[in-house]
Structure 1
Amino acid sequence: MKKIMIAAFALAAIAFAPNTYAQTKMVGGAAMYPTKNIVENAVNSKDHTTLVAAVKAAGLVETLESAGPFTVFAPTNEAFDKLPAGTVATLVKPENKATLTKILTYHVVAGKLSAADLMAKIKEGKGSTELKTVQGGALWVKQDGKKLYLVDEKGGKSWITIADVFQSNGVIHVVNAVLMPK
């Protein structure tokens, strides 16, 4: 009887515990904790070192540490490597801060949009939904089977490779290409 009560208590504790453990995902070899903000998690991902360096160079750390909420489409290092040689090195120079900021803020949408939210918007939009970025541009989200992808203003396509990485101030969706505004 005592063992049954202990087991029941343990199951109840798990059922009513915060979703911290259930929602924690691995990105770039690091756990992404929903109790930490976007920057606190991103700095631990070995797949996002270029993005973190760019965010620091653009002076966006404080913004992405604020309450938000934000939906961030976070390009991996491999995504940045697809850009023409020397592009990243040029963008992180102080004299190119405005251009870098424009590109990075094009990857951010106000609000917390999960993959399910995006799919519902796509269904509502009959196959596509337009998102307004904090940069002021538009991104289109589309669905191919159960996978989501984004189309930027220049017609570039970026797939969401890891969805729903929840943060204390929003959600990150890892993408495999850098999105470009007009």
Structure 2
Amino acid sequence: MADIVDTAVNAGSFNTLVTAVKAAGLVDTLKGPGPFTVFAPTDDAFAKLPEGTVESLLNDIPQLTKILTYHVVSGKVMAADVVNMDSAPTVQGSNLKIDASNGVKVNDASVVTPDVDADNGVIHVIDSVLIP
């Protein structure tokens, strides 16, 4: 199995996320032993942000890092675990709100594909970018 970064690269729908992770210098961390749970926005999710937002963030590494680490939870939290939670602490330091009453929502993002396994954690694909 591949690590979280390689799994995202191989999926082909996370090019913006992978570019951002590289720009923020988080590749080595997310290739590390973990385990990590990543709520991964697709390219389409990034495309929903106001025009110029991604470019602006790529030039503001502290803010980019804050946003990216807000998508990461320590440990391997599978969908079966997520449905029993109402929040989860992020690596960034804030909590994500979890609502499993009608599908699974993380803040205002919906989980569209849960439990994408990686050898150092798990990816849950989401349809919006989470902003702390």
Task: Calculate the TM-score normalised by the size of structure 1.
Answer: 0.71
| Equivalent AA in structure 2 for residue 141 of structure 1 | I
1:44 maps to 10
Give, as a single letter, the amino acid of the residue that structure 1 aligns with 2:69: T
**Aligned residue number for residue 104 of structure 2:** 148
1:160 matched to 2:116: no
2:52 corresponds to which letter in structure 1? G
Deviation at 1:44, TM superposition (A): 1.6
Fraction of identical pairs, as percent: 51
| Structure 1 residue 90: Cα displacement | 1.2
Name the structure 2 match of 1:179.
130
Partner of 2:20: 54
Q: Would you say 1:111 and 2:68 are equivalent positions?
A: no
Which residue among 97, 108, 128 is the counterpart of 2:61? 97
The amino acid that maps onto 1:149 is K
Equivalent of 2:92 in 135, 158, 169: 135
Question: Once superposed, what is the RMSD of the aligned Cα atoms?
Answer: 0.8
Gaps of 5+ in 2: none
Residues 1:66 and 2:32 are matched in the alignment: yes
- Higher relative CO (CA 8 A, sep ≥ 6), structure 1 or 2? 2
- Per-residue CA deviation, residues 13-33 of structure 1 (Å, 9 max, x unaligned), is xxxxxxxxxxxxxxxxxxxxx
The separation in 1 between residues aligned to 2:11 and 2:18, in whole angstroms, is 9
Tell me which structure has the larger Cα radius of gyration. 1
For structure 1, the 5+ residue unaligned runs are 1-34, 122-128, 152-156
85, 89, 97: which one aligns with 2:51:
85
SS of aligned partner of 2:30: helix
Please identify runs of 4+ aligned residues in structure 1 that moved more than 6 A.
none
**How many angstroms apart in 2 are the aligned matches of 1:140 and 1:120?**
12
SS where residue 40 of structure 1 aligns?
Answer: helix
CA drift of 1:38 comes to: 0.3
1:3 is matched with none
Q: What is the Cα deviation at residue 144 of structure 1?
A: 3.1
TM-score (norm 2): 0.97
